[in-house]
Every structure is written in C-alpha cells, then in structure tokens.
Amino acid sequence: MSGLHDRPWQPGQLLVVLDIGKSNAKIVLVDPLTGAELASMRRPNAALQDGPVRQLDLDGVAGWLLSSLAALPERQRIAAIAPVAHGAACVMLAAGGAAVLAPDYEDPVLASEPETYDALRDPFAQSLSPALPLGLNLGRQIHHVQHRLPDLFERVASIVPYAQYWAFLLSGIMASEVTSLGCHTDLWWPAQHRFSDLATNAGWDRLFAPLRRAGETLGLLRPEIAARCGLPRDCAVLCGIHDSNASYLRHRMHRPGSDRFAVISSGTWTVLLASNIAGGALRQDRDMLANVDAFGALVGTARFMGGREYVAVAGVEAPPPDWAGLQRALAADAHVLPGFTVGGQFPDQVGELVHADGLDATARAALASFYVALLTDVALDLLGAGGDVIIDGPLAENPLFPGLLAGLRDGSAVLLGEDGAGSIGGARCLLLGAGAEPAGLRRPAPCDTRSLGDTRALVAARSRWREAVRAR
C-alpha cells in the first residue's frame, strides 16, 4: 500500500499527534522514523452542560492544546501535526469559522423524537449504520439541531467532523474525511463511497467541508499559532483520522488486502475492526456496523463501551487485577451479566453482578477483566473474525485481559501492540505509508495455570455465562 501523505519526510523532523478521545485528550511528540516518543501531555475531557444541548469542550481543549504545544521540547524540529479524534462528533461552523455548536453524543435530548428521525434513515443494507441510542448517529445530532434549534441551524455555514475541526483550528482550512463520515453516522454509503440519501435529501452533504485524504496536508500552521507556540512557520497540518481507524491502519498497512485479522481498539469504547467481512454479515441489532478505513474500504465492526463496563464492575479506583483474584471470583461463581452502558451486543439487557458481594477489590477487578474478555469474545464471534486478533490501547496493558482472551479464542493468535498506542502508529502511517515499520507485536503472557488449573476453567465459565445471558 502507498502512503497517504503528500510531502517528503526528512530524518530529524518530529511529528505531534493530537489524540482527542471521549474521556481524555493527549498530545504526543514522536520521531515518526523511529517511533520514539519524546514527550506527552494529557488532560481529562468533560462535556459542558450549559446551552441548548450538552456540548464538547472546544475552548477548554483548545486552550490546553496551545499551552501544551508551547511547552513541548525541540519545537523547531516539529514538521507536522496529525489530529486523531473519536467518532460520532462534528462541529457546526458559522460563515466566519466560529463554532456554532459541537453536540456531545451522550446528551439524551438528541434522541427526544426518535420516530421522526428514524423514518428518514436509509436502510441498514445501504448505510451499514445501525440505529443507535442518544446521539451516537451523527445524523441524529444534525437533525435535532435543524428541527429543534432552527435559529442556531440557520447560522451553520459548514460542518466538519471532529478530527478535522482540530485541523481547521490549527490550519484555517476546512475539510471532511471518510473514516469519520463512515463511523455509524447515517451519512455515508460505504460500498458506494458517497453521501447517503438521508444526507443529500436534507442538504447536509452540501454543508460538509470538501473531502480530503486522512494524510493529506491541509495547509501550514496558522502564523499566529506558530508564533505563540514557538513552532516552525512551515509546520504542516494533516487532515486527520478517526481514532479507532488509526489503530486499524497501522496493521492494515503492512498486510495483504486478502489477509484476515481483527484489531481491538480500546479506551472508553472497545471497538473491534475486522478485515474482509461482508456487509451482509453485520447485524444492526447487535451494535455491528461498517467503518470505513483511510483508503475508503469497508471494515466490519462491533463495539461496546468496554472502559465504562469495566469501571461499573471494578470501580473507579480499582487496584490491578491478578490471577489469584480471578480464581477467588470463579470459586464464588461470581459473574457479570450485561450491560451497564448504552449500545453493545446486548442492548436490551440491564447489567447485574451475581455472587459478587463478598469479593475484595482485586477479585472484582479480575472479574471485570474476565467480563470484558467475554464481551469481546462474543463480538468476535458475531463478526466471524478470522486470523490474528491484535489488542491496542489500555486493554493491552491489563494484566489479565490478553491472556484471558487468548484462552477463550482457541485457534486465534492473540497479539499485543508493543507500544500500546494505536493512534500514534496510525499517525506515523499517515506520514510514511509502508515506510513506517510494521507494528511490533508479541504474544501475551498465558493464563496462570497455577491459579486456574488450565484454560478449561475459563471455557467452562464462558459456557455458564453464555447460558445465563441466553436465559434472560
């Protein structure tokens, strides 16, 4: 595969990756040729509650971004900035470029009239975008603003996906990009590579900024930002990419197009992206959909809010899990029935902890790890994923999860991304294409047979868990 970037890259130049997740924002300064991370900064994200809808904190993130850029070391070597951001988000802009509205997809008001909007949606067979709760379909957000907040909508001259908003803030150039447009938005037909009938009939396609490639240089850093932050005046700003697609890209770049594999991109959301899955295999009632990769190709996807499911079981200040804790949980026949968050593969079920009252904090953390592994296992089965299963993000650092998934996925090679940061590797691929070395992968530590006996205990516990879920 060729690269997506349109400028030559020189040794010694540095890349800034701006990674805006739902729960946290992060800046990483990296040497893209070696992968060495030279500096990083992080801030928690929180939605703003005031206004006509709950909104993303654009000003808060922007202020942190500029101060962080100004604090980076070796700033004169920074040659490019690559935005990466979560999906189901856009920023609506006025004619002068000021933000009018940036809805937070978790605001319940966005789904206040589901029947009206659902009647306008394209068939799933065309959009491969399932009907999702709250504002998780981006089209639902735009429809709400247009029909419930018409005075605001009249001010909207352009719409940019969330990653491209940060590219616009830095460069002054508006753009759209397919990985964000194809992320359960209802706005894109993946097989036809065009806007959906919903988007064209409503005229929203004409509001979206022009399509550009994820690795394309939109322009140079705004002169005032370069001066304020002490960055080179010729620092390039890339168009940017959806975060889970960044994780997927770093593995797709070095594999034949016919290869079967799956990437588990983890964080607030656990997103499973599987190659070579036919659109007809996707089930909208199980939170399955098509993503679109950086080259415009369809990617079979299943997702659930794994980070929040974990916290619902383990607690916010949970200690690291261990195998002995899992043994205690299994010995007590403790298990977790889904689910505690919106969406996922069990959308109509309500989460429940069974026989877990007497567990200590470490055992609860181990139980939460096993629960997320069971949910992941179900999602992989539903996708019909084949070949390697690669774990990126926080789940790769969980002491139990990789070994648990490997124990459950008999016959699959479960592998870990060695740097644990799929967004960084994806951004490097935007710059270097196949010139970015393949992601370092390793097998996880096996299940601790001293605690569990062998993986048959896990498989037996999975059978009991699946039967309990079916019985509900």
pLDDT of 8 > 80? The answer is no
As a whole number of angstroms, the distance between CA 264 and CA 250 comes to 12
User: Which whole number is the average pLDDT over 208-237?
Assistant: 97
User: Which whole number is the average pLDDT over 347-375?
Assistant: 96
pLDDT for residue 449: 62
Span of 48-52, 316-320, 449-453 with lowest mean pLDDT? 449-453
244-428+435-471 has the same fold as 14-239: yes
Q: Which CATH number fits domain 14-239: 3.30.420.40, 3.30.200.20, 3.40.50.720, 3.40.50.2000?
A: 3.30.420.40
Taking the CA atoms of 406, 411, 412 and 416 in sequence, report the sign of the dihedral they define: positive
pLDDT for residue 28: 97
According to DSSP, the β-strands at 335-337 and 298-304 are unpaired
pLDDT of 217 > 90? The answer is yes
- pTM of the shown model: 0.88
Q: In this structure, are residues 324 and 361 in contact, taking their beta carbons and an 8 Å threshold?
A: no
DSSP state of 340: S
pLDDT for residue 6: 61
pLDDT in tens, 265-292: 898 899 999 999 999 999 999 999 999 9
Confidence tier at 418 by pLDDT (50, 70, 90): low
pLDDT for residue 417: 76
pLDDT for residue 3: 44
User: Which whole number is the average pLDDT over 143-162?
Assistant: 97
pLDDT in tens, 32-78: 998 899 999 999 999 999 889 999 999 999 999 999 999 999 999 99
Instruction: Please report which residue ranges of 10-113 form alpha helices under DSSP H.
Output: 58-71
Q: In this structure, are residues 431 and 215 in contact, taking their beta carbons and an 8 Å threshold?
A: yes
As a whole number of angstroms, the distance between CA 10 and CA 172 comes to 25
pLDDT for residue 52: 93
User: Which whole number is the average pLDDT over 203-219?
Assistant: 97
Top-confidence residue, 380 or 442: 380
User: Which whole number is the average pLDDT over 450-463?
Assistant: 81
Percent of the chain with pLDDT over 70: 96
| Order of strands across the sheet that contains 288-292 | 288-292, 298-304, 270-274, 261-265, 388-392, 414-417, 441-442
Q: Tokens 């036919």 sit at which residue?
A: 278
pLDDT of 146 > 80? The answer is yes
pLDDT in tens, 105-141: 999 999 888 889 999 999 999 999 999 889 999 999 9
Q: Where are the domains of the chain?
A: 14-239, 244-428+435-471
Q: Which of 210, 222, 147, 130 is nearest to 178 (CA)?
A: 210
pLDDT of 420 > 60? The answer is no
DSSP state of 245: H
pLDDT of 1 > 50? The answer is no
pLDDT for residue 457: 84
pLDDT of 242 > 90? The answer is yes
Top-confidence residue, 455 or 229: 229
Span of 86-90, 109-113, 214-218, 369-373 with lowest mean pLDDT? 109-113
CATH class of 244-428+435-471: alpha beta
pLDDT of 453 > 80? The answer is no
258 three-class SS: coil
